[in-house]
Amino acid sequence: MAIKPIITVPDPILKQISKPVAEVTDEIRALMADMLDSMYAAKGIGLAAIQIGVPLRVIVMDLVWGKEESGDARGPKFYINPEILEKSEETAPYEEGCLSVPEIYEEISRPAHIKLKYMNQDGQEIIEECDELQATCIQHEMDHLNGVLFIDYLSRLKRERAVSRVKKNKRLADEHAL
């Protein structure tokens, strides 16, 4: 297990389309362990493999961790080759952020309820109804698999501003690291 650096905008890697996983092997489980380590270290609640540079349709999420009432409890979830089977007309807004677009938060509306099909860490096929934060988060992470970021839903001006802010913060952080 290892903490990997998280790729940030405007790195073109984030625009890649990730490929499906043929089989859930120990290698995939090792990748997911690295993804979780990296996500927890960065204090995120979800991460797609492409964010650590691996173009595979693999997502990890933990919506238990980080909540005050759950203390140190963790509830990692693994989504391999996720597909949305159904989505509601009704949408729900959420102030989204992304480890690949650090320190930027914007309200995005997405379908409020979805029916999801995916493989879990044991390679079992699961069909699950999702709503609230889980629905928002899984749709955000699934966008990563298709090279889409939440800032792509913003106006061009807002998006460009967000990317320049991330670049500037990174430059300042690199300078301080010298």
Active site residues: 141
Residues with Cβ within 8 Å of residue 172, at least 6 apart in sequence: none
Alpha-carbon distances of 164 from 1, 48, 54, 151, 160, rounded to whole Å: 33, 23, 25, 12, 6
Q: Establish if 58 lies at the interface with Ni ion (CB under 5 A).
A: no
Residue 98 binds Ni ion (CB under 5 A): yes
Using the minimum distance from each CB to Ni ion, give the nearer residue, 50 or 116.
Answer: 50
Distances (CA, A) of 163 to 48, 49, 73, 132: 19, 21, 34, 28
Provide the minimum distance between the beta carbon of 144 and Ni ion in the complex, in angstroms, as a whole number: 6
3-state secondary structure of 60: strand
Sign of CA dihedral 148, 150, 156, 162: negative
Least gap, CB of 6 to Ni ion (angstroms): 9
* Nearer CB in complex with Ni ion: 108/116: 108
Stretch that binds Ni ion, among 58-66, 67-75, 91-99, 168-176 (CB under 5 A): 91-99
Nearer to Ni ion, 98 or 166 (CB): 98
C-alpha–C-alpha distance, residues 64 and 55, integer Å: 26
Query: Nearest approach, Cβ of 96 to Ni ion (angstroms)?
Result: 8
> Does position 24 bind Ni ion by CB under 5 A?
no
Residue nearest to Ni ion (CB): 98
In this complex, which beta carbon is closest to Ni ion, that of residue 125 or of residue 132?
A: 132
* In the complex, minimum distance from the CB of residue 25 to Ni ion, in angstroms, rounded to a whole number: 25
Dihedral (C-alpha) 33, 36, 41, 45: value to the nearest 10 degrees? 180
| Residues at the contact surface with Ni ion, assessed by CB under 5 A | 98
